[in-house]
Structure 1
Amino acid sequence: MLRSAVPRRGLFAVAIILSVLEAAGGLIVPLFTRDLIDQFAASGLDIGVIIWLIAAFFVQAAAGGFSYYFMTYIGEMFVRNIRLRLWNHILKLKVSYFDKHESGELISRVTQDTNTLKTLITNHLVTSISGILSIIGALVILFVIDWKMTLIMLSAVPVSMLILAPLGRLVYKISLQMQDELAAFSAGLGRVLSDIRLVKSHNAQSVEREGGERKIASLFHFGMREARIQAFVSPLMTTVIMAVLVVIIGYGGARVSAGDLSAGTLVAVIIYMFQVVVPFSMLAQFFTAFQKAMGATERIQELLCTDPEQSTGRLQQNQQNDDPDHQEPGRQSKPDFATALTLSADWEQSEDASYQVDWNQPIHFKDVSFGYGQEDEVLRSLNFTIEPGQTVAFVGPSGAGKTTIFSLLERFYETSAGSIMLGEQNIEQIPLHAWREGIGYVLQESPLMSGSIKSNITYGLTRPVTDDEVREAARLANAAAFIEQLPSGYDTEVGERGIKLSGGQRQRIAIARALLRDPKLLLLDEATSNLDSESEALVQEALQNLMHGRTTLIIAHRLSTVVDADQIIFLENGILTGQGTHAQLMDGHALYRKFVHQQMKQESNFSVYTS
C-alpha cells in the first residue's frame, strides 16, 4: 500500500535527509557539552565550542521541524490516496456486495481504519526514522567513548524485547477485533439514523438503545484490554530505564572519582543514553501503533481485493481463462492487492471509453435462470423477446421474479444460467458504463439524493445541461408547477432521501431525471403504486410523456397499463406461464383472468370510495 499510494518519493527522500540532519545535530550536542564541561573544570572556556553548540541546536531544531512537516504532508497525502482508492472502489463494487454488508461498515473502513494508518505515519513514522538514526549513532559514539558502560546499557535491550514481542502480537489481535467492532457499531449507527422515523414511529428507541449500549460496552472492553497492556508496559519500561540510569551514574561516578573518566565524558554518556532510551521508548509506541495499523490495513485490503463489477462481464473473462497462463482476477487463493489495482484501472478505462450501443435491436432472454447466492432460483429458464419500441408489461404474484428481471437488465447481477442478448450480442460483452447510459429506471419509491431539486434532476449526467433543458424535463414530468411555487425553486433542498417532498413529487422528479437522461430502454417498477389519486394521475401523465418512442418495460398492477401493453408476460414462481396480448391471455390463461377480475374489483371499489 505504501508503494502504491505514497506521493512524491523525492519529497520522502528529502524528509529522510532532514531526519538524518536532525539526528546528526542531536549526536553532536553531547560531544560539545563534554568539551564545555571539561573546559569549565579546567577553569577555561573556548567561545568556539559555545558557537558550535548553538549551531548544533539550531540544525537539530530546524531539520526536525521541516522533517516533521514533510513527513506529516506525506502521511496526509498517503491517507488521502488510500481513501480516494477506497471510495472509488466502493462505488464499483457489485450490488450483491451491498446486499451482504451494511453501509456503516464501509464508512468505518474509509474513516476509522484509514485514520489508524494516518496516526501511524504522521505521529510515529517521522519520530521512528530519526529515532533509529539517533540510536545507531549514539551507540557507535558510546562504544568509542566507553565500551563498558555501553554494554551495561545494552543489557536492557533483550529484557525489553522479551516484554514487547508477545505483547505486540496481543495488541495486533485486539486491534483486529476493535476494528471489526467499530465497523459493526458504525453500521448500526448508520442504519438507525437513516431510518430514524421508523424507529420513533414504532417506539423502538429502547430496543436500539440496548443494542447500542451493548456495542459501546464491547468497544469499552477492547479499549480497557489495550489499556491494561499499556499499563503494564509503560511502568515496566520506565523501571528498566531508571535501573540502567542508576547503574551508569553509579559506575560512571566511581570511575570519575578514580580519575579514569572525566566529568564531561560522564555527562556526554548520560546524554547519549537518553538519546538511545527516549527514541527506544518512542519505537515501542511505534511498534504498538504499527500493530494497530496492521489490523486496519488487513481490513482495508480485504475490501480493496473484493472484485468490482466486471465492465465486460464473464464472457471476456472466460475467453481469458482459455489462456493457460491466465488466472482469473479476484480468484486467487490469497487476496492480491496488485490484481485489485489492475481491475480498478480496467474499470476506469472502460468507463471513459466511447462505445455506441445499437438499441434498435430486439432484447432476447434465452434460458435465463438466476438465484440470489445459495438460495433457490428466483427465475427459471426464461425465454422471451422484446422488440424495439414495444411496451411490455410483467405481471404475476408477489415474489414471481419481476423486479429481478429488471436487476438483470441493469446488470446489478449476472445470470446463473442462460444469456440476455441485444440482437446477436450478449449484453455482458457491452461495456457496463455504455450499457447503463441507455437505461432509465424509475422505481416504486425512486430515491433522491440530499441536495437541490436541480442537482437531483441532473444526477449522473456527465454532459453539460442547460437550465432550459431542466425546466423542459420538469414540465414534461408534471413537476414544473410545484417546483416553481417553492421559495427557492429548482435550488430547493430536498433533505435526506428527499424527505421534504411528498411521494408524488419525488416520483415526478425521478421521471424528470429519466427524461433528461433520454434513455433508449425504460424500466418502470410499479412507479404509481404508492400514490394518492391526484398524484397518480399527474405521475401517470408524466409517464406517458416518458414512454413515448421508447422501449418500455413495466411492472404494474393497474389494469389500464397492462391492457395497453403491446405484450404481457405472466410469471409464476420465476417461470413464464403466459405471454401475449391482453386479449390472448384473457382467452387462454386462467390465472391472468383471475388477476384482471381482482384488479377490476379493486379499481371499482376505489372509484366508489373516492366518489
Structure 2
Amino acid sequence: MSTQAQAPGQPLPDGAQALKQDRRTWPTFRRLFIGYVLPHWKVGVVAILAMLALAGTQTGVVALIRPLLDDGFVEQDAATIRFYALLLIVFIVFQGIAHFTSHYLMTWIGRQLVKRLRLDVHDRLLVMPNWVFDQQSSGRLVSKLTYEAEQVAGAVTRAVLSLIQDGARVVFLLGYMTYLSPWLMLIVLGVLPVVGGIIAYITKRFRKISKRIHHAVGGVGSVAEESVHGYQVVKAFGQADRERQRFERVNERNRKQFMKFMATKYASVPLIRLVAGIALAVVIYLVTVDAVVETITVGTFVSFAGAILLLNPPLKSLVAVNATIQKGLTAAQSIFDVVDAPQEPDHGSRTITRAEGRVEFEGLRFSYGGDREVLCGIDLDVRAGETVALVGPSGSGKTTLVNLLPRFYEPTEGEIRLDGVPLQAYRLADLRRQFSMVGQNVMLFNASVAENIRFGAQGPVSDEQVRAAADAANATGFIEALPQGFETEVGEDGVLLSGGQRQRIAIARAVLKDAPILILDEATSALDTESERHIQGALERLMEGRTSFVIAHRLSTVENADQILFLDGGRILERGTHRELLDRGGRYAGLYRMQFEDRSEPQSEG
C-alpha cells in the first residue's frame, strides 16, 4: 500500500502571500464576530446600550445650549439657568457611568476573545504536521500567540467601542443639526463625501501597511529567538557584530513600516479636521446673510456650531480606529492561517494497548517536499525485542527513518507495519504510546526535575514511581544533590543542568513511559566518558525486553545489536551482526577500524 505524504510544499501564507488576501477582510471579520464575539452577546448588548446612552448624552449636552441661551440668558431667567446647570451635572454623572460600563464590558469581551484565540492557536500547534514547523520559524509562530493576538483584542475593544459609540455620536449630532437648520445641514452633507473619500483611501493604505508590519514583526522575533538560543555559539565564534547587524536590518525594516503606518494615521487626522473647519467657516459666513439671520436665534447658531465642532472628535476617532481595525483583521487572518492549518492525518480506527514490538518496512521511500529522496526503497523486518542499530554518514537517512515510526512524517511510498498492521490503521495517540524516544538534544521544560520525569506518563504518577524511574536512569544521585532535590527547577530547556544530567532525566522519562519500542538517536554521542558510562548502563536496562532502534556514530555502543544497518544515500548498503559485518570487510568494517585506531592511539603529552 502506498501512503502519500502531506504536501509540505504548501506553507502557511505569510509575507508577500499575505498581500494577496485583501478579499478575505470581510470573511475574517465575520468569522471573528460570529465565532469569538457573538458567544458573549449578552454582555455585548449591555455594552452597546451603554455606548448609545453615552453618545446620546453627549449630543444632549449640545442640545442644552440652545434653551440655556435663548430661554435663560437672552430672557435673563435665573431659574431656567439654574435648572439647566443642574441638568448638565446629571448628564455628566450619567456619562461617567455609561463610559465605565461600556469600556469595561468591551475590554472583558476582548480579553475573552484573545484567550480563546490563543487556545485555538496553541491547540493547533500541538497537532500540526512536522513539515509546517520545518517551514515556519518558531519566532513567527510565537508572535501569533502574543503580538498578533493582542492586535485582534485591540480591534474588538478599542475599535468596536469607537465604531459603535462614535458612529452613534455622529448620527445623533447630524440628526440634531438637521432638526436645528435643514438649510445649514446641506452644507455639512456636502462635506461628508469628501470625508468618506479620505477614509476609503486611508483604509486601503492601512490594510497594505499592516500586513507588512506583521511580516516584519515575525522577522524580528525569529532573529531575536536565534540570538537568545544561540548565544553561546555567537560568543564562541565572535559573531556578536554580525548578529547585531542582522537584527538591526530586520528591526529597521519593522521601524520603517511602522512609521509609514503612523504617518498615514497622523496625516488623516488634520485632513478631516480641515474639512470640518471649512464647513464651520461656511456656516459662519452664511449666518451673516440677512435671509438666514432672521430665522436663526443665538442659541440655535451656537448649538449648531457646537455640534459641528463636536463632530470632529468622533470623525477623527473613526479614522484613527480604522488603523486599529485593519491591524486587528490582518492579525486575525494570520492567526486563522494557523488555526486552519492541516492537522496530522489521523484516520485510523484500530486501538492498541501495548504492542508486541514487531516492525516491518516494505518498499519505504520518503522525500521532503518532493525534493531529493532521503529514503530509497527500505525493506526491513524487526522481530519483537530485537535491537537494530542504524549507522552511516550524516545525511544518510537514519533519523528520518526512525521519525517515520511515530508518524512525525508520512512516507511518500511504501508501508510500515507494527505487529502486522499498517501504521495508518492505528489511532495516532495509541500508536505514539508505543514509542519512547531519547535523543542527543534533550528537550526539558522550565519546571522541576520531578515534573520533567512525570512528562513521560499518561496519568497521575506517585513520587515513588518518579524515584524508581530516576534510579533506573542512574539519576537519583545527582538529583538528590541539587538544592531542592526532585523539586529543583531546571530552567528553560534544562539550562541549569549538564548534558549528562539532562540525558539521564530524559531516560527516566522514557522509563516511566514504559513503551514497548525504544528509539535512541545519538543518545550518548555528545557526552564525556564518565557520563556515557552512567547513561549507557541506564540505556541497557531500558532496552531490556523492548524493540530498540539505536542511531549511533560510536560503533562500540552497538556491537551487541541483533541487526546493524549501514545506511548511505537513503539505502541500506550493509546489514548483519557486528561480527558478520567485520568479516565482510565492507564500509562498516572500515569505519570500525578507523574508530578503533583513533581510540587506541596514545595520548600526546602536554
Query: When the two structures are superposed, what TM-score results if normalisation uses the length of structure 2?
Result: 0.89
SS in 1 for 2:170: helix
Match of 2:96 among 58, 61, 65: 61
Matched, 1:356 2:352: yes
1:43 maps to amino acid: Q
Residue of 70, 75, 80 corresponding to 1:42? 75
Shift of 1:257: 8.7
1:5 aligned residue: 36
Q: Which amino acid aligns with 2:41?
A: R
556-565 vs 373-382, which moves further = 556-565
Aligned partners of 2:450 and 2:117: how far apart in 1?
A: 32
Aligned to 2:283: 248
Residues 477, 543 of structure 1: 8 Å contact kept: yes
Aligned sequence identity (%): 33
Shift of 1:224: 2.6
Among 509, 512, 532, the alignment partner of 1:536 is: 532
Match of 1:467 in 2: 463
What does the per-residue CA deviation read over 1:469-510, in whole Å, with 9 as the maximum and x for residues that have no partner?
A: 111111111111111112221122223322222221111111
The secondary structure found in structure 1 opposite 2:368 is coil
Q: Is the 8 A contact 2:443 2:494 kept in 1?
A: yes
SS at match of 1:409: coil
* 1:20 pairs with 2:52: yes
1:169 is aligned to 2:204: yes
Matched residues in 1 for 2:421 and 2:109: separation? 48
Q: Deviations over 1:285-337 (max 9, x none)?
A: 12222222232223222222221222337xx9xxxxxxxxxxxxxxxxxxxxx
Secondary structure at the aligned position of 1:155 is classed as helix
SS in 1 for 2:146: helix
Please state how far the C-alpha of 1:231 moved relative to its aligned partner: 4.2
Contact 1:578 1:589 in 2 (8 A): no
585-594 or 129-138, larger mean C-alpha shift? 585-594
Alpha-carbon deviations, 1:167-223, whole Å to 9, x = none?
Answer: 321221111111101110110000111111111111101101111111222222222
- Say whether the 8 Å CA contact 1:478–1:542 is kept in structure 2: yes
- Give yes or no for the alignment of 1:291 onto 2:326: yes
SS of residue matched to 1:397: coil
| Matched positions, count | 570
| Pair 1:108 & 2:143 matched | yes
How much does 1:460 deviate? 5.1
In the alignment, structure 1 residue 82 sits paired with structure 2 residue 117: yes
The within-5 A match list for 1:44-443 is 44=77, 45-46=79-80, 49-252=84-287, 258-312=293-347, 355-360=351-356, 362-443=358-439
Report the residue type matching 1:500 in the other structure.
L
Matched letter for residue 490 of structure 1 = F
Q: Is the 8 A contact 2:385 2:548 kept in 1?
A: yes
Q: Quick check: 1:24–1:60 contact (8 Å CA) kept in 2? A: no
The residue identity in structure 2 corresponding to 1:365 is: F
Q: Secondary structure at the match of 1:260?
A: coil
Amino acid at match of 1:95: N
Cα pair distance change 1:179/1:541, threshold 3 Å: same
Is the 2:269–2:319 Cα contact (8 Å) retained in structure 1?
no
Q: Does 1:545 pair with 2:544?
A: no
The gaps in structure 2 that reach 5 residues or longer are 1-31
| AA at the equivalent of 1:225 | K
Give the direction of change, closer, same or farther, for the CA distance of 1:132–1:371 in structure 2 (3 Å limit).
same
Q: 2 CA distance for matches of 1:504 and 1:447?
A: 13
1:523 aligns with 2:516: no
The amino acid of 1:26's aligned partner reads Q
Distance 1:542 1:246 in 2: 88
**Match for 1:226: what amino acid?**
F
1:565 is displaced (CA, Å) by 1.5
1:346 is aligned to none
Matched residue, 2:592: 596
| Higher relative contact order, structure no. (Cα contacts within 8 Å, ≥ 6 residues apart) | 2
Equivalent position amino acid for 1:493 in 2: E
Give the deviation of 1:50 after TM superposition: 4.8
C-alpha distance 104-522 of structure 1, shift in aligned 2 (>3 A): same
Instruction: Provide Cα deviations, 1:376-418, integer angstroms capped at 9, x if missing partner.
Output: 1111111111111111212223322111111111211110111
212-221 or 176-185, larger mean C-alpha shift? 212-221
CA contact (8 A) 2:155 2:328 kept: yes
Query: For 2:183 and 2:69, how far apart are their aligned partners in 1?
Result: 22
Matching residue of 1:326: none
Q: CA deviation at 1:110?
A: 1.8
Distance between the aligned counterparts of 2:100 and 2:91, measured in 1?
14
- What is the DSSP-based 3-state SS (H/G/I as helix, E as strand, rest coil) of the residue aligned with 1:378? strand
**Residue equivalent to 2:64:** 32
Q: Structure 1 58/252 Cα, relative in aligned 2: closer, same or farther at 3 Å?
A: farther
Q: Once the 2 structures are TM-superposed, how far is the Cα of residue 588 of structure 1 from its aligned partner?
A: 4.4
- Cα gap change, 1:361/1:407 in structure 2, threshold over 3 Å: closer, same or farther? closer
CA distance in 1, matches of 2:398, 2:34: 47
- Residue 287 of structure 2 contacts residue 293 of structure 2 at CA under 8 Å; is this kept in 1? no
Q: Which moved more, 1:441-450 or 1:508-517?
A: 441-450
- The corresponding residue for 1:452 is 448
Question: What's the TM-score, normalizing by structure 1?
Answer: 0.88
Structure 1: 5+ residue runs without aligned partners?
317-353
1:527 CA displacement: 1.2
Deviates more, 1:64-73 or 1:272-281: 272-281
Shift of 1:587: 4.2
In the alignment, the residues of structure 2 paired with residue 472 and residue 487 of structure 1 have an alpha-carbon distance, to the nearest angstrom, of 20
The two structures, once aligned, show a CA RMSD in angstroms of: 2.4
Whichever residue aligns with residue 241 of structure 1, its letter is A
What SS does the corresponding residue of 1:544 show, helix, strand or coil? helix
